[in-house]
Amino acid sequence: MIDITSKLPHVGTTIFTTIGQLAREHNAINLSQGFPNFDPDPELLALVSKAYKKEHNQYAPMQGALSLREAISEKIERLYSKHYNPESEITVTAGATQAIFTTIATFIQPKDEVIVIEPAFDCYEPAIALFGGKSVPVPLEGNDFKMNWSTFKSAITPKTKMVIINTPHNPTGTIWSERDMLRLQEILRGTNIILLSDEVYEHIVFDGKLHESAAKYPDLAARSLICASFGKTFHATGWKVGYCAAPKLLMQEFQKVHQFNVFSVHHPLQIALAEYLKYPQHYVNLGGFYQEKRDAFLDAIKDSRFKMVPSEGTYFQLLEYSDITNEKDTVFAEHLIKEYKLASIPVSVFCKGDYEKKFLRFCFAKTNNVLDKAAEILNSI
Ligand SMILES: Cc1ncc(COP(=O)(O)O)c(C=O)c1O
């Protein structure tokens, strides 16, 4: 036997794996993990097949295929009026997870503090810990998960190296307004703090609202690494292709790490995505597509005993269950799988400390028949 010291002693199997397994064992409808149960557009799939046949089967350039970086740059400029130079300010990554990991690996040194807004997507904290950093959680407040900006401000210390934000937000389905972004910009102005802006759900925003990218705010953009995912946008989470956009100085450092970690990403997919991305209709209607699902799902469960505030973005809907039971969310989630055959994610797993609120997260990126069956179950509880 060899003796090892774990670098992540507190990390076990992720909740998504555990819940997924339990859901399979109990033959439950699975609205836990965030992925669609339908395929990408056939047009995109045809472009992928074409790319395989067109000599794109060797390494892509380290930064990503130039045609894809150009298409990304045009998309960002069209939407947020900010130019990122495709030659020096964009890198194609193996999903947003790698963009996030590489951003943290590039900038976080032992004892650096990173402000993480909780509940938080699960990959931030372990990456911070791996590089000796310290996560400083700042909670979203109330049952509407609003940021208290004075709490946020008081969490900043001379050791704060980075802030991680995520809008639209997983798991709460809230989005940040222009006011939030301006407040953040004002608080960070004059500091040396880097902003990691996780914008993987940028195209899934509802009710006519707009996504507030860090790219839109000059003082934020200058300190931001924006991490994005084609998996979320094109119903292809299994492809694991995303990107990072940042000013040249930050991107140069990012690429130093990227080139010795991933080096380059699946080439044929990049070629296909570059072609597909040229047409805005392939992503500007995504909010409408998911809004219909959200509305149908909420309408179907409006008479249930769950309380709900419609999600503002992402493909997640939180349901509050305090009228049903006092059980902790992890216990109630297990209950739902075993007794009612419906899987969701308890929100407490997105928080480091004690978490007493009573919310479960349901993914509505599913075909209508699956959502209807889930609604039937939720109405029966
Ligand atoms: C908030 C958030 N960030 C990042 C990711 C990871 O994206 P990808 O699958 O492209 O690695 C996810 C995926 O669920 C997510 O919800």
Contacts of 2 (CB under 8 A, 6+ apart): none
pLDDT digits (tens, 9 = 90+) for 318-329: 999 999 999 999
244 confidence band (pLDDT: 50, 70, 90): very high
What does each C-alpha distance from 70 to 151, 219, 270, 295 come to in angstroms? 39, 24, 11, 35
> Does the beta carbon of 121 lie inside 6 Å of ligand 1?
yes
Q: Residue 220 Cα, ligand 1 centroid: separation in angstroms?
A: 21
> Does the beta carbon of 96 lie inside 6 Å of ligand 1?
yes
Q: Is the pLDDT of residue 353 over 80?
A: no
Q: Residue 97 Cα, ligand 1 centroid: separation in angstroms?
A: 6
Question: Which residue puts its alpha carbon closest to atom 13 of ligand 1?
Answer: 34
Q: Residue 61 Cα, ligand 1 centroid: separation in angstroms?
A: 24
Model-level pTM?
Answer: 0.97
Ligand 1 pocket mutation, candidates 170, 197, 226, 273, criterion most atoms within 8 A of CB: 170
Mean predicted confidence (pLDDT) in 5-12: 90
High-pLDDT (> 90) share of the chain, %: 94
Q: Residue 326 Cα, ligand 1 centroid: separation in angstroms?
A: 31
Mean predicted confidence (pLDDT) in 170-188: 98
Distance from C-alpha of 336 to C-alpha of 328, rounded to nearest angstrom: 12
Task: Name the nearest CA neighbour of 163 among 151, 152, 173.
Answer: 152
> Does the beta carbon of 291 lie inside 6 Å of ligand 1?
no
The CA-based angle 304-366-360, given to 5 degrees, is: 45
Q: How far apart are the first and last CA of the chain?
A: 50
- CA 295, 296, 299, 301 dihedral sign is negative
pLDDT digits (tens, 9 = 90+) for 208-227: 999 999 999 999 999 999 99
317 confidence band (pLDDT: 50, 70, 90): very high
> Does the beta carbon of 198 lie inside 6 Å of ligand 1?
yes
In the chain, the amino acid numbered 324 is I
Phi, then psi, of 152 in degrees rounded to 5: -60, -50
Distance from C-alpha of 68 to C-alpha of 286, rounded to nearest angstrom: 20
> Does the beta carbon of 242 lie inside 6 Å of ligand 1?
yes
The answer to whether 308 and 144 are in contact (CB under 8 A) is: no
User: How deeply is 126 buried, as exposed, middle or buried, from its count of CB atoms within 10 A (0-12, 13-18, 19+)?
Assistant: middle
Distance from C-alpha of 277 to C-alpha of 78, rounded to nearest angstrom: 12
pLDDT digits (tens, 9 = 90+) for 37-62: 999 999 999 999 999 998 899 999 99
- CA 172, 176, 180, 182 dihedral sign is positive
